[in-house]
Structure 1
């Protein structure tokens, strides 16, 4: 047996497709002292029993790009390594059996063209010509993606392993990792049953074993094992060029294999596995076939492929796979431990993801950042609820059961709720709140009029939502009177220490070196100028800042700030989210109401925009931030949680005669779209700079202060940009915009919408998206074009704007 090296730059743990792909790409990047360790044999965990379908389209452009990279790699891997991969680019079909599904498919086709994929819409007869084994009596239509395909999971993994060795990496099978050696928060070595390997970085690609292994070192990887079954038939003359087939209304998928079919599916009542831990010697092991549980899938499939009734069954394969609470996989450097990277939780599409995920993870390890924005799969999207395995399992089983259900816009999960609650939760629920959930927090999305018989419940559709008029009421109150938003779920940090100003001045793109009492809106940039964080910073003392960011970005933003505090500076970051409630009082009558409950001077002269003051309300010291995300006079009232109900009741009583009402997050979204306010994670992110996003005014270029990303921004200001964020308003007021609709300028595709919704003051749908042009984009370029939006494969004329659509002089609310 080959001797284990005593040192390596990088150690990859796990020899499935993700580990082998990561090692392959690390070696290609020049890290030839990469070592991969597999406790048994390559592919022996879960890769060997994967079904091997390779689809590409996802709701994120970058994840679609990542999956497209897998396809391009699999095309060339056999020629490079001499090993067969079973790769066949025979295309992929997706069926629609009802009008709602057909709308979803048409919107997916629009998304595909937005991202540069050729997805063709077919009639039922055209689909049957491609897949003659199926019946089409119930079909409305189908979509065909010619570049999808299928592969043999074990063969592809072995080819990647050989490619890794050819490029200089070392792979050791039958080598179990026993422990990591960590000293003062730094990885020093990997301890194996065959010896110690000193290393700088560890990449854990251990599949369903990753959660328990990572937890030993304080790292949270939210995944659990779920049984997943598929059937392999005997050969019965199935053509080898048959496309892969997904029939989501029947919860099933199909691919050709050796003249027969592989058929599997996602049942609504999945079975969790290994709830008390994975058996010690579990490798190359399948679970007992569960024909009773698979019967529901089998019955659904017979209605589509009658030939299955007489086809011989070779095997019913039952293998556990690792699934995650949101159905996306997990990549990136753990926020809890530096140089500990994770690639796991692939939700039964690890083969489709394998090539691209390995590439992205290798670049992340090598360069300290991913090749592009991978927020949908970033390990930092998780938070406190995800430390509890029971909660993770409950939510994951729901996500599994929804794998093929209609993915409606604005859909909320129902499991594991309520988990994190504001002190006002019960009060707001009694007043008709319909809650959504983010990172475990219950947040009011909208309020039903209980007296009028409205039910606080979402009814999902691709058309106008049942809450459309309720949100319109709240929007009207924001614009004409006042509302309270319970935004207790905001993530809140304190940065404190003698060097707090110097540290934050380096991390923040805007000027935070302002007097105590100042409030600053700022981005935090990477070295390419991309926006990593978008938040508000209040200077509450000479050596202390109070930082507020979005609910879902708690882990990400804390990690970004903490890891970018320059070495040697004395500044400590603390998460204080759970200690503070936030009541946002917004609207033209907000000051009138606030004056009734405080003796503090809250006039514009004493308390101008962009400042923070401590005021007293009902015996509570309230940290009031003069800021708005809805475009009206507003105050974010931050207060210790124990005062929340008292202050809320005082405000509601004082504001009753001024029309003060409760409002939810969907009204915030509507108002912010009218004001063209950006949202991180959709409109802005690591792939977008403030210059491209129209936020150059929030960057301190006129000051000589150095800050992270400054050089990239200066270069862009000087050299121009190739994309620019703009606002789009369709001529047809009944248009429903959801995001990812294709933008056409003068008939040419130039981008897609990053988000969309309805503006009740302007009375029309509103979309936001980047206009792109490789030769450069200026304001004149954007404004001089004639625009259309492709919505569910229909072109709709629209107007473009680089300015907010709403200003406070507009009074009439429409819609």
Structure 2
């Protein structure tokens, strides 16, 4: 009979590589009373049949940091535990068959080098020398990462499990969690079925590492964990004479990867249209344990046909194993880490999108430190569970989206690439109006947003490229209309949070860095900081009345912001409500915006009546709205907050009157290109919880004299010690190259950091980027005295650096 403890500090659910890594790292931090529960046997879900590829280069600096940690951990685990991990740093090669893929690889080399990865672009002949069996006649370029490798997934997991046991972790197999008990919004215990008996473990923390079962485990606690399994195919050949040891090979243009192991070749695929499993309406079989799915050779055959041409020796190699097993995928191809936004001490580490082996070492380390310290050890927004929208737990949505996400792992990772499946879930009241006028939509947090507007007769879809895409001229026209005339944006997707109650002002004063104790009618731009002075939220706070405030946040961070607000209520008497769906937001922006507003409303929009940073209640057409005098594009303008039932009418009123002043409909690409000319920061790129508010250049929005607030001491310490880096704006001299993000910043010939965000400055006449420059002990003048270049795909371009916005540095236009 299985003996379970009556209580534990932590219960980890799932005995795959992620669960064992979390338990191992918690034990390393000195945590005790840790129990890991596995429904069947360790590795019996997905881990056991993983390919075991261990790469170091990921899409961002911190994801690369975690991948590098994983590789280093697996190297030393055998010495620590005595369990062989099979870790072998054989290197990897990625080849490009198109110019676009070659550009992507070259950009990844730049990003990797800037983040300490030993990666280099190699010639086609070099690739052939490293991988003699490769057919290279149509290969146009390649990269090599010497310290990439491969390992044995099952052994790695058992090594982590043994290390965890050595640290006191109790691991129990054949123990299925059937329920999670919540008390006062926090985890209180789990119900377990083991050995034919049911029992309960009282606990302070639960960690959901249940892999493809994680969706259901989340549902036990009313936590959305959106993921769905897909069938993942690979073959293993019979032994091939004279094969020799080879690096891992990725031919992503053919959706294939190759791994040599013990004289055999493993050929795996991430095909463009995947097969979700189980079918919609079915559940994972209760008895699933080390199971395979039925073969589907017809599905795999197109990959194999290309592989035989790419690797001619496969034509004569026998197939030892044709394997099909399930792996879970998330709607955005990024895994989940962190504490659930709506349940305290419910943690997740799951949804690894077929990179669980190469991710779990670092993910386990980061989550353990997060649990131990109460906040993430560095910026993990890329994978933070708080990015999830509640609707995404919908099973039909997940089933249909997963068909696409598996294939996107090896698709070209073009800038601005949009998901094609499971679209249209969240729509503005103006969706059909904008669609009829040429809108081409993108998706953020499920919202359909007009990214750009096609002209009459122009195709209404993206043609992706690393160069100028087919909407570049449309963006230019929209951008210049905002700079010289007036543009209209639909920003209904803004997150809107109403905070009200007797203690609302004192509560927000404690959270916000700026002074929000202002008269009703005022709008305050502020940040919410953590204890390190890092930025947890970037928002505006509008005082509606003595006891009511409206917080406006990016749509993508709404759940994160709600969670932060609710977790820090303490004893305050406040009510926090998500009112996003109650109002639409129409942004009227540009030097002619006042002329337009005067045509549609009898209200006074003068600087005397409605100065920058205030709102007025207005009549507009036959309706009503609040006109917020703020701007994210650097021009005179208003955000109009309109009841959703009146939105269409207000839009039609503005459009009709706009004919007289040249009103132009504008999309989100233009919003971004305008804001970057003005050096306005973008949360998640330019500012994160790892970036100090002063080093981000946002000290003007911090009022230390108002009294205590979270992060105040860190701000004062930074003022005393001085800045160690500064956020700088860059403008390329050459008007041709494009900046997106992760391009290397080169100072006096040396790479010092990367571009955090970039776009084309159509008014300034070239690409613009933001990025941090290390400057410990230096003055602003010394920072600007250097020579700067930006490295784009291996080529360096001269750039002008500025600490003040290159467009309207005194912000005179927004106050006009």
The alpha carbon displacement at 1:446 in A equals: 1.2
The alpha carbon displacement at 1:182 in A equals: 2.0
The alpha carbon displacement at 1:239 in A equals: 4.8
1 CA distance for matches of 2:778 and 2:439?
A: 44
Query: What residue number does 1:554 align with?
Result: 558
Q: Is residue 2:246 matched to residue 1:242?
A: yes
Cα contact 1:96–1:102 (8 A) shared by 2: yes
Cα contact 2:245–2:263 (8 A) shared by 1: no
2 CA distance for matches of 1:4 and 1:152?
A: 30
Query: What residue number does 1:443 align with?
Result: 449
2 CA distance for matches of 1:295 and 1:259?
A: 23
Cα shift readout 1:471-501 (whole Å, capped 9, x = no counterpart) = 1111111111111101111111100111111
Structure 1 residues 547, 238: closer, same or farther in 2, change over 3 A? Answer: farther
Query: What residue number does 1:713 align with?
Result: 715
Cα shift readout 1:556-610 (whole Å, capped 9, x = no counterpart) = 1111122122x11111110011111110011111112111222222111010111
Q: Is residue 2:636 matched to residue 1:633?
A: yes
1 CA distance for matches of 2:461 and 2:149?
A: 40
Pairwise CA RMSD: 1.6
1 CA distance for matches of 2:382 and 2:388?
A: 11
Query: What residue number does 1:692 align with?
Result: 695
Q: How does 1:524-563 map to 2 (within 5 A)?
A: 524-563=528-567
2 CA distance for matches of 1:425 and 1:4?
A: 55
2 CA distance for matches of 1:269 and 1:73?
A: 34
SS in 2 for 1:806: coil
Q: Is residue 2:187 matched to residue 1:187?
A: yes
TM-score normalised by the chain length of structure 2: 0.97
The alpha carbon displacement at 1:342 in A equals: 0.8
Q: Say which of 621, 625, 628 aligns to 1:622.
A: 625
2 CA distance for matches of 1:404 and 1:387?
A: 25
Identify which range, 219-228 or 755-764, moves more after superposition.
755-764
Identify which range, 83-92 or 658-667, moves more after superposition.
658-667
2 CA distance for matches of 1:102 and 1:600?
A: 56
Q: Is residue 2:572 matched to residue 1:569?
A: yes
SS in 1 for 2:51: coil
Q: How does 1:34-53 map to 2 (within 5 A)?
A: 34-53=34-53
1 CA distance for matches of 2:549 and 2:149?
A: 52
The alpha carbon displacement at 1:736 in A equals: 1.1
Q: Is residue 2:326 matched to residue 1:320?
A: yes
Structure 1 residues 810, 222: closer, same or farther in 2, change over 3 A? Answer: closer
Q: Say which of 259, 271, 292 aligns to 2:298.
A: 292
Query: What residue number does 1:504 align with?
Result: 508
Q: Say which of 174, 178, 198 aligns to 2:202.
A: 198
SS in 2 for 1:373: coil
SS in 2 for 1:86: coil
Cα shift readout 1:423-473 (whole Å, capped 9, x = no counterpart) = 1111111111111111111111111221xx322322111111111111111
SS in 2 for 1:353: helix
The alpha carbon displacement at 1:711 in A equals: 1.1
2 CA distance for matches of 1:56 and 1:809?
A: 43
Query: What residue number does 1:354 align with?
Result: 360
The alpha carbon displacement at 1:719 in A equals: 0.4
Query: What residue number does 2:616 align with?
Result: 613
Q: Say which of 330, 342, 351 aligns to 2:348.
A: 342
The alpha carbon displacement at 1:808 in A equals: 8.9
Q: Is residue 2:409 matched to residue 1:403?
A: yes
2 CA distance for matches of 1:592 and 1:687?
A: 42
The alpha carbon displacement at 1:268 in A equals: 1.6
The alpha carbon displacement at 1:2 in A equals: 6.3
Cα shift readout 1:757-813 (whole Å, capped 9, x = no counterpart) = 11111111111101125x4454123201111111100111111111111129999xx
Cα contact 2:37–2:175 (8 A) shared by 1: yes
Q: How does 1:418-437 map to 2 (within 5 A)?
A: 418-437=424-443
Identify which range, 268-277 or 43-52, moves more after superposition.
268-277
Q: How does 1:147-296 map to 2 (within 5 A)?
A: 147-194=147-194, 195-237=199-241, 239=243, 241-274=245-278, 275=280, 276-296=282-302
SS in 2 for 1:657: coil
SS in 2 for 1:193: strand
The alpha carbon displacement at 1:612 in A equals: 1.6
Cα contact 1:517–1:613 (8 A) shared by 2: yes
Query: What residue number does 2:128 align with?
Result: 128
The alpha carbon displacement at 1:418 in A equals: 1.9
Cα contact 2:739–2:758 (8 A) shared by 1: yes
SS in 2 for 1:199: strand
SS in 2 for 1:753: strand
The alpha carbon displacement at 1:238 in A equals: 5.6
The alpha carbon displacement at 1:248 in A equals: 0.4
Structure 2 stretches lacking a partner, 5+ long? none
SS in 2 for 1:687: coil
Q: Is residue 2:335 matched to residue 1:329?
A: yes
Query: What residue number does 1:385 align with?
Result: 391
SS in 2 for 1:154: helix
Cα contact 1:70–1:352 (8 A) shared by 2: yes
TM-score normalised by the chain length of structure 1: 0.97
The alpha carbon displacement at 1:545 in A equals: 0.5
Q: Say which of 275, 291, 310 aligns to 1:304.
A: 310
